[in-house]
Amino acid sequence: DLGKAGIIGPLVPQLGGLKKLQELFDNGLNASIPTTLGNLSNLLNLDLQENMLTGMIPASLGSIGTLKNLRLYGNKLTGPIPPSMGNLTNLVTMDLQKNSLSGSIPASLGNIKTLRYLHLNNIMLTGMIPSEILSLAIVGSLSL
């Protein structure tokens, strides 16, 4: 558990080697999200909201099958939402709002039948909302 550990600076790629890590959340982080975080096969909560993270969301995060909560709210992330995020079939919360993400909403997010909270507002997405998203039984909240 690296929750509120007071980490300041970049997330180092070596974090991807902590195979038993279940919780990672903190403030004071900058730079990009290392692709090696996709190796965290026991991670349940990735909460990196309101940091100074930049760059793209690594597609490798889509390989964390245990992930239940993904909160990247309030950073400076850019680029598209990776379609691999649709592989997170145990995800309950996805909060990507208040970033500089662009492109369209991947239809693959419709694969996440456990999703209850989807927050994609205040980002630069374009195009139509895929029907796969609209068919989800989101109970908590949907913010687009």
Residue 4, classified by CB atoms within 10 Å of its CB into exposed (0-12), middle (13-18) or buried (19+), is exposed
pLDDT digit string (tens) for 52-108?
A: 999 999 999 999 999 999 999 999 999 999 999 999 999 999 999 999 999 999 999
Q: In terms of Cα–Cα distance, which of 121, 33, 142 is closest to 77?
A: 33
Q: In terms of Cα–Cα distance, which of 117, 69, 76, 116 is closest to 98?
A: 76
Structural domain tally of the chain? 1
**CATH number of the domain bearing residue 69:** 3.80.10.10
Using alpha carbons only, what angle is made at residue 12 by residues 57 and 2, rounded to the nearest 5 degrees? Answer: 90
pLDDT at 75: 95
Q: What's the mean pLDDT when you consider all of the chain?
A: 89
Domain extent, residue 133, equals 2-143
